[in-house]
Structure 1
Amino acid sequence: MDDLRKEFPIFKKQKQLIYLDSAATSLKPKTVIQAINDYNQKYSINSHSESSSPLFKKVWTTIQETREIIAQKIKGKVEEISFLPSTTHALNILALSLKNHLQKGDRICLTYLEHSSNLHPWQAIAKEKKAIVDFLPLNKEFTIDISKLDKYIDKKTKIVSFVHVSNSLGVINPAAEITKKIKEINPECLVILDACQSVIHVPINVAEWNIDALALSGHKVYGPTGIGVLWIKKELGEKLPHLLWGGGKKIGPMEEIADQNLPLSQKMEVGTLPLAEIFGLKAAFEFLNNFATKEIYKYENDLRNYTLQKLKKIKNITIYNQKLVSANIITFNLASYHAHDIVDYLGKNNILIRAGNLCCPYLNKLIGANSALRISFGAYNNYNDINELVSHLQKIIQSPQVLLPF
């Protein structure tokens, strides 16, 4: 994987760029960019324009092939895959679809690890339905404590939604074991997985794990922005109500809708699909399939370990997940310096990392700080990136005045 950097055109335009924020958005390889351009330049017709035209055939085939390649990646069924504008959108639609699954006094379980996209939709429907939101306990590894689940899951627990790989600490929840325990306690409880960070780094098997729904994002898997994926187990999807209306639903007048047993994608996808993005997403998963998931994980983990060794030598640094098993993330702070001041200085020197609460509203409960710095690696990073970052962090310690505005 050492020579992968050349596959990312941004480095030809931004020769000095050091990009260490892949957990927010990954950069795009040229095959993804070309696939998006191919749709716009060569096809550019609507998937509703059914005809025997080779243009329509290519567009329709690509949609189906993209569903297939994602289904294969997560070990689901093709008909269980839906395309939505983002993971946030997908989790909102899923929460709204499950609203009537809840009654007053029912319980939804989440964790303090969650991205706001997997918190606020569930909190909103709980408030509306007068349900109770509980937070599952974490162990010393900052993953869900399976040994204590029987104290939190009961017959009133209708939904458990949790992150597979945390975007704030990078810790990996053992999804299979967690789901097995939940289902043993309450077989009727729905288990939902946020797989945005994990689909690159950790093998996923929705069928074996017996989860009920999963969401992932295009722009975190070397794909385009503006597209997310919602996988819903067929048995659950068939029970969900129609929430979205308009073009794309292959049905007659509105009054006939109640009598239609439509495919899941017909419930979730309305209007013109993000077709250029679907072309790009297919290319992104094809790019990923050139490598074993374990190969990507090992490469990024080697970078992470190298970075940790370098960071530990910096005076007054606090690394919050140094001793944790983490995917591709390092979360830290420098004493006496605000995270946003540091990220601003680094940005002026073409080094991009993340600062803030990392879209994790309960970050303070995890690390005791409301704001932190986050390094997250991609397949295009190398040891020179790390050396440059560490050099600038040391410069801050040695000459704090560099943080002052120009």
Structure 2
Amino acid sequence: MDNFRKEFPIFKKQKQLIYLDSAATSLKPKTMIQAINDYNQKYSINSHSESSSPLFKKVWTTIQETREIIAQKIKGKAEETSFLPSTTHALNFLALSLKNHLQKGDRICLTYLEHSSNLHPWQAIAKEKKVIVDFLPLNKEFTIDIDKLDKYIDKKTKIVSFVHVSNSLGVINPAAEITKKIKEINPECLVILDACQSIIHVPINVTEWNIDALALSGHKVYGPTGIGVLWIKKELGEKLPHLLWGGGKKIGPTEEITNQNLPLSQKMEVGTLPLAEIFGLKAAFEFLNNFATKEIYKYENDLRNYTLQKLKKIKNITIYNQNLVSANIITFNLASYHAHDIVDYLGKNNILIRAGNFCCPYLDKLISANSALRVSFGIYNNYNDIDKLVSHLQKIIQNPRILLPF
């Protein structure tokens, strides 16, 4: 995979860059960048401007092809796939759409692994509807404890929403087994999957797993910012209310609404679509499809194991997930040094990792620390990146004064 580093133009512009923050956002391959440029330079028309023009046909076809390539990736249907500005937007939209699905005393189940985007929207509607929010138990592997689900899921549990791959520890929830158990206990319970981190690293089959909805982000799959995807099982999507109006939507709020012949995306997509981003997202998934998911996982896991061996030699380091099965993430702290001070120093030396709670509000419940350091890998990383990171961490241990801002 090292040969693919050349596919990322940023390394030609930033020759000294060591980028180890792919869980936050992935870098962009030149084919994706070119696809966005192609839309802007060659086709730049509105998808609502319907005609027999070759320009319109190209734009319209690309929208449908992008739905299809994403649907194939998650084993869903293109007609169930909609474009929204981000995963955060998608999960907020979904929570608001399901508000009337809930009554006082019902239950929503989440986990302490959740990103705030899959936490706060559900807490907000729970507060409004006087619904109980429970947190599913985690086992020693920090994944959902399937054996204890029957103590948490009951007939009052209407929604379970959980992260597939954690952005804080990288642990992988066995979504198929979890969903199977939930549906055995309560077949009417909706299961929602945050696939932001998993879409690259873990195979997904929403149909086989009986998932009801899934959200993912463009900029975490080597695609553009400003676009997310919401997949909703057709049976559920048809029951959702119309919350958004105008801008190309074929009906208005004063008209009689029927779902016959009305695309499901009409409930989610209003206004002009982010067309350049859709062109880019299609190219990103085409780029991603050059690799088997297992191939990406193995390569990044080899990098992770190499990094762990190097990091464990550093004095007074705490690695929170070294003994956990993790997709592409290492989370750690250096005793006596604040994570943000370390990230600041590394940044000055062109090494980019992440510090903080990674938008995981309950991180302290997982690792007993409010802030940590996170290294996350992409297919463009190599062993040289790791050696340089570890070298600079050793310099901090040897001479802590280098962290001073003056």
Structure 1 residues 218, 143: CA separation in 2 closer, same or farther (over 3 Å shift)? same
Structure 1 position 247 matched with structure 2 position 247: yes
Structure 1 residues 259, 384: CA separation in 2 closer, same or farther (over 3 Å shift)? closer
Question: Over residues 137-189 of structure 1, what are the superposed CA-to-partner deviations in whole Å (9 max), with x where a residue is unaligned?
Answer: 00000000000000000000000000000000000000000000000000000
Q: What's the CA shift for 1:250?
A: 1.6
- CA–CA separation in structure 2 for the residues paired with 1:204 and 1:220: 16
Structure 1 position 391 matched with structure 2 position 391: yes
Decide whether the 8 Å contact of 2:4 with 2:379 is kept in 1.
yes
**Aligned-residue identity in percent:** 94
Q: Secondary structure at the match of 1:220?
A: coil
Q: What's the CA shift for 1:258?
A: 6.2
Partner of 2:67: 67
- CA–CA separation in structure 1 for the residues paired with 2:140 and 2:252: 56
- CA–CA separation in structure 2 for the residues paired with 1:350 and 1:91: 34
- CA–CA separation in structure 1 for the residues paired with 2:197 and 2:298: 15
Q: What's the CA shift for 1:367?
A: 0.2
- CA–CA separation in structure 1 for the residues paired with 2:292 and 2:255: 49
Q: Secondary structure at the match of 2:255?
A: helix
Q: Secondary structure at the match of 2:308?
A: helix
Decide whether the 8 Å contact of 2:171 with 2:324 is kept in 1.
yes
Question: Over residues 327-354 of structure 1, what are the superposed CA-to-partner deviations in whole Å (9 max), with x where a residue is unaligned?
Answer: 0000000000000000000000000000
Structure 1 position 264 matched with structure 2 position 264: yes
- CA–CA separation in structure 2 for the residues paired with 1:96 and 1:271: 19
Q: Secondary structure at the match of 1:159?
A: strand
- CA–CA separation in structure 1 for the residues paired with 2:35 and 2:194: 26
Decide whether the 8 Å contact of 2:80 with 2:233 is kept in 1.
yes
Q: What's the CA shift for 1:253?
A: 7.1
- CA–CA separation in structure 2 for the residues paired with 1:314 and 1:32: 38
Decide whether the 8 Å contact of 1:251 with 1:260 is kept in 2.
no
Decide whether the 8 Å contact of 1:193 with 1:214 is kept in 2.
yes
Give 4+ residue runs of structure 1 displaced > 2 Å after superposition: 251-262
- CA–CA separation in structure 2 for the residues paired with 1:264 and 1:361: 33
Instruction: Report the RMSD for the aligned CA atoms in angstroms.
Output: 1.0
- CA–CA separation in structure 2 for the residues paired with 1:259 and 1:177: 33
Structure 2, unpaired ranges of 5+: none
- CA–CA separation in structure 1 for the residues paired with 2:323 and 2:181: 26
Decide whether the 8 Å contact of 1:329 with 1:376 is kept in 2.
yes
Decide whether the 8 Å contact of 1:45 with 1:55 is kept in 2.
yes
Q: What's the CA shift for 1:260?
A: 6.7
Decide whether the 8 Å contact of 1:343 with 1:354 is kept in 2.
yes
Q: What's the CA shift for 1:256?
A: 3.5
Q: Mean alpha-carbon deviation: is it higher for 256-265 or for 220-229?
A: 256-265
Q: Which residues of 2 match residues 4-403 of structure 1 at below 5 A?
A: 4-251=4-251, 254-257=254-257, 262-403=262-403
Q: Secondary structure at the match of 1:285?
A: helix
Query: Scaled by the length of structure 2, what TM-score is found?
Result: 0.99
How many residues get paired?
A: 406
Question: Over residues 288-307 of structure 1, what are the superposed CA-to-partner deviations in whole Å (9 max), with x where a residue is unaligned?
Answer: 00000000000000000000
- CA–CA separation in structure 2 for the residues paired with 1:169 and 1:248: 41
- CA–CA separation in structure 2 for the residues paired with 1:153 and 1:14: 50
- CA–CA separation in structure 2 for the residues paired with 1:306 and 1:36: 36
- CA–CA separation in structure 2 for the residues paired with 1:385 and 1:244: 46
Question: Over residues 211-243 of structure 1, what are the superposed CA-to-partner deviations in whole Å (9 max), with x where a residue is unaligned?
Answer: 100000000000000000000000000000000
Q: Secondary structure at the match of 2:257?
A: helix
Q: What's the CA shift for 1:261?
A: 6.1
Q: What's the CA shift for 1:248?
A: 1.6
